[in-house]
Amino acid sequence: MDALIVLLPGDGIGPEVTREAVRVLRAVASLFGHEFRFQEAAIGGAAVDKHGEPLPAETLETCQGADAIFLGAVGGDKWNDTPPHLRPEQGLLALRRELGLFANLRPLRAIPALHDASPLRPERLQGVDFVIVRELTGGVYFGERHEGETRATDLCKYDQHEIERIARMAGEIASGRSKRITSVDKANVLATSRLWRKTVERVMADEFPAVELRHALIDSTAMNLITHPRDFDVILTENMFGDILSDEAAGVVGSLGLLPSASCGAEKPGVFEPVHGSAPDLTGKGIANPYAAILSAALLLDQGLGLQLEAEAVRNAVDSAIGDGVLPLDIVIAEDAQAYSTTETGSTVVERITAPPASTP
Site of interaction with ligand NAD (CB under 6 A): 13, 17, 73-76, 89, 92, 255-257, 273, 276-282, 288-289, 292, 330
Interface characters, 276-295, with ligand IPM (x: CB under 6 A) = -x------------------
Residues 251-280 binding ligand IPM (CB under 6 A) are 275, 277
For residues 170 and 235, the answer to whether their CB atoms sit within 8 Å is no
Q: Does 92 bind ligand IPM (CB under 6 A)?
A: yes
Catalytic status, residue 219: yes
Print the SS3 string covering 233-272.
Answer: CEEEECHHHHHHHHHHHHHHHCCHHHCCCEEECCCCCCEE
Closest residue by Cα to residue 355 from 316, 301, 298, 299: 316
Taking the C-alpha atoms of residue 58 and residue 60, their distance in angstroms, rounded to an integer, is 5
Residues 164-183 binding Mn ion (CB under 5 A) are none
Stretch in the footprint of ligand IPM (CB under 6 A) among 19-27, 86-94, 202-210, 311-319: 86-94
User: Among residues 132 and 353, whose Cβ is nearest to ligand IPM?
Assistant: 132
The residue annotated as part of the active site, out of 67, 141, 158, 340, is 141
Catalytic status, residue 243: yes
Measured from the CB of residue 58, what is the shortest distance to Mn ion in angstroms?
A: 26
Q: Does 135 bind ligand IPM (CB under 6 A)?
A: no
Q: Which does 93 bind (CB under 5 to 8 A by kind): Mn ion, ligand NAD, ligand IPM, none?
A: ligand IPM
Measured from the CB of residue 277, what is the shortest distance to ligand IPM in angstroms?
A: 6
Catalytic status, residue 179: no
The residue annotated as part of the active site, out of 49, 77, 159, 219, is 219
Q: Does 310 bind Mn ion (CB under 5 A)?
A: no
Q: Does 166 bind ligand IPM (CB under 6 A)?
A: no
Q: Which does 16 bind (CB under 5 to 8 A by kind): Mn ion, ligand NAD, ligand IPM, none?
A: none
User: Among residues 74 and 163, whose Cβ is nearest to ligand NAD?
Assistant: 74
The residue annotated as part of the active site, out of 129, 231, 233, 247, is 247
Catalytic status, residue 141: yes
Q: Does 11 bind Mn ion (CB under 5 A)?
A: no
For residues 114 and 253, the answer to whether their CB atoms sit within 8 Å is yes
Measured from the CB of residue 180, what is the shortest distance to ligand IPM in angstroms?
A: 24
Contact pick of 16, 67, 135, 243 for Mn ion (by CB under 5 A)? 243
Taking the C-alpha atoms of residue 58 and residue 132, their distance in angstroms, rounded to an integer, is 32
Catalytic status, residue 67: no
Residues acting as catalytic residues: 141, 186, 219, 243, 247
Q: Which residues bind Mn ion (CB under 5 A)?
A: 243
Q: Which residues bind ligand IPM (CB under 6 A)?
A: 74-75, 89, 92-93, 243, 275, 277
